[in-house]
Structure 1
Amino acid sequence: MEHVLDNPIYYALSSSHAHHAKGVETVKYYTEDITAFAGLKDNSQENLDTLYQISEPDSLFVFFAKTPVEIPQQWKLLTHINMFQFIFRGTQIPDEDEVKLTDLDLEHVAEMIELVELTKPGPFLSKTIELSNYIGIFVDGKLASMAGHRFFPSPYREVSAVCTHPDHLGKGYSFKILKEQIKRILLRNEIPFLHVRKDNEAAIKLYKKLGFEIRTDMIAYVIKKEALQA
């Protein structure tokens, strides 16, 4: 039987995030203002064809795969990203930290999008914040660092959008925010996990320090719906 973390987007959209889902039984995707991710029951040519048929013109999607996928011709492959999937294996709930952490809400979305566009941790749209538990650190009234939750294939909850403004790197802000995210997830009797590019050595080192271990390789495919030629 497939582990839910082998296909986290599909299993999240089929359960805890069903209220954010569009699509059919075998092909689901988040509403356009939440995020660009799609989850397929399996990454078959048939399901990619179905996604093409049921989605809007010019749609852009990101989907995950554990092994390489041949992208059907009607889709434009924009890029693919080789990643590690990490799962938290620590046993201790992190201690409180002295740094002031702010729960982020709708009034912060513009700043959050600006920080994401600068640092490129992954897709973040106008209502991505509805996926919950975004927290940040402000310096002189400006958002300097943040992270939140994304996919929730219960009992696993993903930490996502981990990013820090370049002017504030090296100050330990991501470490402090991640400690709080781990704590919040563990106190719900859930298990933290996350994804990171294989070439992001600094982040990989940080995640291992916090108690995360590599669970599997993962590939993120970014595809765009192209109009069929007459």
Structure 2
Amino acid sequence: MINVEDQLKNPVWHSLKETHKKFAVNSNGVQFYHHEVCPFGAFFDETKTAEASSEYVKKSDSFFFVSENQTPIIDESKVLLDRKIDGCQMVLNKLSEVEITEDIVLLDETFIDEIYDLVWLVMPGYYKKRTFEMGNYYGVIKDGKLVSIAGQRMQTDLFIEISAVVTHPDYTRKGLAKQLISHNTKEILKANKTPILHTNKGNLAISLYEKLGFQLTRDMNWWLYHKK
């Protein structure tokens, strides 16, 4: 049986083999999430990515290949590299104690639009409404509106990734993200899984994650492509 350390070397691949296999789109030995859920792809053999990406881009105008150290091969007559995002993976070492003063709620389907709008306000990019289906989302509601969230994205039987950690600009510097990450982490530990997260190298939030008990473990790069 594969262990969590091996799974984390290729988290998209193993998520699509286990917990998220219902979202998997397989193409020539390459795996993608369904384009309406999450535009991520993964591979072990980069010689197969050109054909697979040319097929996937017919339904998704842009997408990412996620890889620790391999470089995808593409057919530039159909697919073009937008940019490579130098990312890193962080894994919980030991959760720090955080006082929870906010009322943190598990968000249900009635919050899908609010989650989408908040993510796109703070971190515009590639979050989709069906990304909500990938895992649990926790939030803080103030003044009758959702103002801060921390969700779950990639996951297997062994790990769960914390993602979509965003706070409305009017409610920052109140410790909401810290409490939400801590709460989400505890829920993952209750499920006997390893909490992880991904971020860009140099992100100022890394210091917060480290204070919460996460440690940098490896590079995890995001190759963003778009249809030609």
TM-score by length of 1: 0.88
1:192 is matched with which residue?
A: 195
Tell me the equivalent position of 2:223.
221
Q: 1:153 aligns with which of 152, 156, 162?
A: 156
Separation (CA, whole Å) in 2 of partners of 1:77 and 1:71: 10
2:210 maps to which of 204, 208, 211: 208
- One-letter amino acid of the counterpart of residue 162, structure 1: V
The change in CA–CA distance for 1:100 and 1:51 in structure 2 (over 3 A counts) is same
Secondary structure of 1:127 counterpart: helix
CA 1:127–1:218 in 2, change beyond 3 Å: closer, same or farther? same
Query: Which residue is 2:85 aligned to?
Result: 81
Q: Percent identity?
A: 31
Structure 2 portions without partners, runs of 5+: none
Are positions 1:59 and 2:52 aligned together? no
Instruction: Spell out, residue by residue over 1:97-143, the C-alpha distance to the aligned partner (whole angstroms, 9 max, x if none).
Output: 23101211221111111111121176321211111210111110121
1:225 deviates by 2.8
TM-aligned CA distance change 1:192 to 1:111, over 3 Å: same
Q: Counterparts of 2:42 and 2:180 in 1: how far apart (Å)?
A: 28
Secondary structure of 2:22's counterpart equals: helix
Which letter does structure 2 place at the counterpart of 1:8? P
Aligned residue pair count:
223
Query: Do structure 1's residue 182 and structure 2's residue 185 form an aligned pair?
Result: yes
| CA distance in 1: counterparts of 2:129 and 2:122, whole angstroms | 17
Q: Deviations over 1:37-59 (max 9, x none)?
A: 112233x1322322323552553
Q: Which runs of 4+ in 1 moved over 3 A?
A: none
How do residues 113-192 of structure 1 correspond to structure 2 at under 5 angstroms?
113-120=116-123, 123-192=126-195
Code of the aligned partner of 1:211: G
